[in-house]
Amino acid sequence: MTTLTLSKALNEGLRKALENDPKVLIMGEDVGKLGGVFRVTDGLQKDFGEARVVDTPLAESGIVGTAIGLALRGYRPICEIQFDGFVFPAFDQIVCQLAKMRYRSLGKLSLPVVIRIPFGGGIGAVEHHSESPEALFAHTPGLRVVSCGDPADAFAMIQQSVNSDDPVIFFEPKRRYWDKAEVDVAEGLAAALPLDRARVLVPGSDVTVLTYGPMVRTCAEAAVAAAQDGRSLEVIDLRSLAPLDTATIVESVRKTGRCVVVHEAVVTGGLGAEIAARITQECFYQLEAPVLRVGAYTTPYPPSRLEEHYLPDLDRVLDAVDRTFGY
């Protein structure tokens, strides 16, 4: 076991993918010589060459469009979108081309493209650098949408995403890039949790807390705090946002009878709304309280000095847990 930051775990996972398949390549702005803004691709161009780790022009639509063409020719491109708010110039390519090619070709063509997107806030960044657009992609049929929550998952999930014949939108919680944990870099993927499965991070019996990405650590800390008040939270890291692992979600909520969904994204129209609707449909007779959602306020992302008030935190999660017992 090796102690790695989340960013370094992604780097090691990308290295494994490049080593295992000569058709894998990485492309994006500053991913080569610089190693990416967050240094996730640091050293890869030096070791694999400029033909496989490609510094591209500042053109997200061009990056994704080129990746689609490469995938049609048998390659497995990994695109880096430098920041979440910069993905929108490529939105048309992603939802109109990448997501629909297999369906349009009646299954004859596949586009094994991974699009890596650092997302969420918490780093004091400027405008357009702290967005949470995951619901837009989860709403689009034909895309797998996933998010890692810790270094071990990051290491395995990026490799699984590269191996997938479906296009994958891979969300990386940028505020967690420097979190450290033990990772078995020698272990193969056979023992890893499948890419479309949720993970019970903290077993519990009183309230199910569903989350992903940057809020995984916050919700795990909430479980520790709640235990001091005698409440047992079952924290589930969703990992896959599309498709959702509904079976794991439903099993937990039927056991606890209460549920709180937590994400950094704006609550209105967020992924929590879809999850709450599914739980209400599948667990109606087991629910002791409405499914509650905790997320960002319905405003554009604020200046950095206000983001700690805008983003959900430990207190807001615990407040929602308390409210589930008030019905």
Q: 205 in a domain, yes or no?
A: yes
The two beta strands, 76-80 and 24-28, are: parallel
* Domain co-membership, 208 together with 318: yes
Domain span at 253: 199-324
Crossing angle of the two packed helices 215-227 and 314-324, in degrees rounded to 10: 60
Q: Does some domain include residue 194?
A: no
Q: Is residue 173 part of a domain?
A: yes
Query: Cα–Cα distance between 8 and 156 in angstroms, integer?
Result: 12
In this structure, the answer to whether residues 243 and 151 fall within a common structural domain is no
Note whether 32 and 161 are same-domain residues.
yes
Would 25 be classed as within a structural domain?
A: yes
Number of folded domains in the chain?
2
Read off the CATH number of the domain in which 149 is found.
3.40.50.970
% pLDDT > 90, the chain: 98
Helix, strand, coil % over all residues of the chain, rounded to 5: 40, 20, 40
- Concerning whether 309 is annotated as a catalytic residue, the answer is no
Q: What does the DSSP assignment read for 273-302?
A: HHHHHHHHHHHTTT-SSPPEEEEE-SSPPP
83 Cβ partners below 8 Å, 6+ apart?
37, 118, 125, 128, 129, 131
Does some domain include residue 303? yes
pLDDT value of position 190: 86
Which of 97, 141, 136 has its CA nearest to residue 119?
Answer: 136
Is residue 190 one of the residues assigned to a domain? no
Last residue of a domain, one of 132, 156, 183: 183
Residue type (1 letter), 209: V
* Catalytic, out of 129, 139, 263, 309: 129
Write out the two tokens for 20. Answer: 């295992």
173 and 307 in one domain? no
Do 27 and 169 reside in the same domain of the chain? yes
Give dist(CA 147, CA 173) in Å, integer: 8
Looking only at Cα atoms, what is the longest distance across the chain?
Answer: 60
Residues 28 and 156 in one domain: yes
Q: What is the per-residue pLDDT across 125-175, written as a single tens digit (0 to 9) for each?
A: 999 999 999 999 999 999 999 999 999 999 999 999 999 999 999 999 999
pLDDT, tens only, 68-106: 999 999 999 999 999 999 999 999 999 999 999 999 999
**150 and 50, same structural domain?**
yes
In a domain, 157, yes or no: yes
Indicate whether 203 and 158 sit together in one domain: no
Write down the pTM of the prediction.
0.97
The 10s digit of each residue's pLDDT in 177-225 is 999 999 999 888 988 999 999 999 999 999 999 999 999 999 999 999 9
Q: What pLDDT is recorded for position 166?
A: 97
| CATH number of the CATH domain containing 318 | 3.40.50.920
